[in-house]
Each structure stands twice: as structure tokens, then as C-alpha cells.
């Protein structure tokens, strides 16, 4: 088996065509270089260097070995560089799952910062409900998930990214639009637009806080996305509740947003990831998240 150092020694000699200059470049003694080249020739079984003349020349086999060896060395150096960069999380793939509410106010700035630092990482973001995200984490389909509570999480690490209250989205001509804050009890006779889907953690949270306030929410419409729910509100089909951070995203003609008056349980946006086996790209992303939460 040809040793890598033998190949490196030969390539330098082939470039210099002089044992003394090649030895100086390699920081070894000239006799030592000659011995290494001879060992390489014995390993390959052919002469690479013509020593019959005063000037060093390559044999036909030597010229072929030089051209192919140089290509191989370039590929090897590239492989080494890529391996080192992958070890630092600079190349590779990162797959994220995200609750819809995270894609409006929180995730975009994190993604911008990550893309700025690691532009060569293949980044994929999938919007999905909390339960689907947990299943995707268990199957290894996503590396990190952004999950809105309430949700039961086992066997994963978590970080709290934000903790916030609720905001009410209602038609601009609604009587409650004149209030600065709206208590949940004032919504007992309202028609609700379910947001974002019946299976989402946010919907479970909305049901829970309404029941704690003493009433069962009446559902008039179901919406798959916040923008659709807000459109239904603008059409006068009902009201909806969103995380407070989405108040800005809910602004459009025909609707207003109002904070829900205390006491109201807060919802948390969690960063969820496996305890073991994280790729370096995910570790680098989590470093950015941690700095945001400090």
C-alpha cells in the first residue's frame, strides 16, 4: 500500500526535479528523501525517477504517476477540508420543523443569522403541527423542532424560546374593538374560528383557556393557517385567538387585535431536539438559539 507521505514526497520531487530543492521544501535530509522515493518505487514495482543522468528526470511511469497522483492529492485535500468543515457544522444538511406561529415572528431572524454564518448548509424548514413534529423527530426526519405548548414531550431536550399571552383578533366594527383589553369571559357568546387546525397544540390551548374561563367555545369555521383565520374574521365569520407575537401578522383591513386581559395562562414556544446524535449543523443552529434566549 502506497503511503500518503511517499506520494507527497514524490509530487514535490516531480515539481522540483532536484533532490536538494525538494528536500528543503519538505524539511527533510536529501538522503532521506532519496530513500523514501526508492521505497515508493519498490512498493509500486516500477522506476519513477531516471537516475542515469546528472539531472533528475521522470520516467514514463513517473510522469503518469505524477499526473494521477496530483489529481488524487487535490481530491484528498478537498475531502480533508470538507470533513473538517463538516465537523464544525459548516457544510451538510439541517432539517427543521416549525409550528406555524413560529414562522412569523421568531424563526425568520434565526434563519437569517444561520444562513449568514453557514451559507453552504442545505437548510430545509417544514411547517407542521406540534404532534407531527414530535413524530418527525422520533423518526429522524427533522433535527430540531419549534413546538407550541401545550404538548407532552418525552425523551427530548427542550429550550423555551418565548413565553407569551394571547391576543384576540376581531372585526373592526365589533363592540369589543373599543376596549383596550378584552377578558375571556366576554367571549362566551362569540363564534370562534379554529386556528390553525383541529389537531394543533394551539387549538388545544385555546380550548383549555376558554373552558377555564367557564365556557365552551362555539366553533363556526376551521382554518389551516393564521392568514386564512384572519380573513374569516375580516369577513365577519367570527373571532380568533393568536399568540401575542402574531398580533402584527394579523393586521389587515377590517380587523383589529386586542390583548386578552389577565389572568390568562401563557403559551410557550419550545425548541425541541434529541438528546443524542445531533449533527454538527444542528449544534451550530442551537448555539445561535441559545444566544437569542440569554
Answer with the one of 87, 115, 147 that is the final residue of a domain: 87
The tally of domains found in the chain comes to: 3
177 and 138 in a common domain: no
Provide block-wise average pLDDT over 10 residues at a time, the chain (294 residues). 80 86 88 86 87 82 86 79 72 88 82 91 88 90 90 88 88 93 93 73 81 91 84 92 79 89 84 91 92 72
10 and 149 in a common domain: no
Please give the Cα distance from 34 to 40 (Å, whole number): 10
Answer with the one of 64, 87, 110 that is the final residue of a domain: 87
pTM over 0.75: no
| Among the listed residues 266, 272, 246, 268, the one whose alpha carbon sits nearest the alpha carbon of residue 146 | 272
Amino acid 229: pLDDT: 87
Q: 55: buried, middle or exposed (CB in 10 Å: 19+, 13-18, 0-12)?
A: exposed
Please give the Cα distance from 195 to 202 (Å, whole number): 7
50 and 18 in a common domain: yes
152 and 76 in a common domain: no
User: Which residue range forms the structural domain that includes residue 188?
Assistant: 166-265
Q: Specify the CATH number for the domain of residue 96.
A: 3.40.190.10
81 and 14 in a common domain: yes
Q: Label residues 29-43 b or e (16+ Cβ within 10 Å = b).
A: eeeebbebbeebbee
Q: 78: buried, middle or exposed (CB in 10 Å: 19+, 13-18, 0-12)?
A: exposed
176 and 158 in a common domain: no
147 and 170 in a common domain: no
Q: What is the pLDDT of residues 237-275, one digit of tens each?
A: 999 998 887 777 677 899 999 999 888 778 888 999 998
75 and 212 in a common domain: no
Q: Specify the CATH number for the domain of residue 81.
A: 1.10.10.10
Amino acid at each position: 500500500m502506497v503511503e500518503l507521505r511517499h506520494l507527497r514526497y514524490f509530487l514535490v520531487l516531480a515539481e522540483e526535479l532536484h533532490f536538494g530543492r525538494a528536500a528543503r521544501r519538505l524539511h527533510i535530509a536529501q538522503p532521506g528523501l532519496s530513500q523514501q522515493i526508492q521505497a515508493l518505487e519498490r512498493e509500486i514495482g516500477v522506476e519513477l525517477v531516471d537516475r542515469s543522468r546528472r539531472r533528475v528526470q521522470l520516467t514514463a511511469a513517473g510522469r503518469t504517476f505524477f499526473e494521477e497522483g496530483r489529481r488524487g492529492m487535490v481530491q484528498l485535500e478537498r475531502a480533508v477540508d470538507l470533513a473538517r468543515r463538516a465537523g464544525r457544522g459548516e457544510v451538510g444538511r439541517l432539517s427543521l420543523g416549525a409550528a406555524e406561529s413560529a414562522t412569523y415572528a421568531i424563526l425568520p431572524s434565526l434563519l437569517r443569522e444561520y444562513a449568514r454564518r453557514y451559507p453552504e448548509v442545505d437548510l430545509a424548514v417544514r411547517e407542521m403541527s406540534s404532534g407531527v413534529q414530535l413524530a418527525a423527530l422520533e423518526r429522524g426526519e427533522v433535527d430540531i423542532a419549534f413546538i407550541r405548548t401545550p404538548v407532552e414531550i418525552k425523551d427530548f431536550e427542550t429550550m423555551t424560546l418565548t413565553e407569551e399571552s394571547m391576543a384576540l383578533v376581531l372585526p373592526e366594527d365589533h363592540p369589543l374593538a373599543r376596549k383596550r383589553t378584552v377578558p375571556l369571559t366576554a367571549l362566551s357568546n362569540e363564534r370562534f374560528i379554529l386556528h390553525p387546525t383541529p389537531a394543533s397544540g394551539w387549538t388545544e390551548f385555546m380550548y383549555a383557556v376558554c373552558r377555564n374561563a367557564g365556557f365552551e367555545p362555539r366553533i363556526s369555521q376551521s382554518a389551516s393557517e393564521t392568514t386564512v383565520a384572519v380573513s374569516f374574521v375580516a369577513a365577519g365569520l367570527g373571532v380568533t385567538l393568536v399568540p401575542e407575537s402574531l398580533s402584527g401578522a394579523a393586521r389587515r383591513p377590517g380587523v383589529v387585535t386586542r390583548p386578552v386581559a389577565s389572568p390568562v395562562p401563557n403559551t410557550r414556544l419550545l425548541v425541541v431536539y434529541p438528546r443524542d446524535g445531533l449533527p454538527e449543523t444542528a449544534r451550530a443552529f442551537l448555539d445561535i438559539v441559545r444566544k437569542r434566549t440569554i
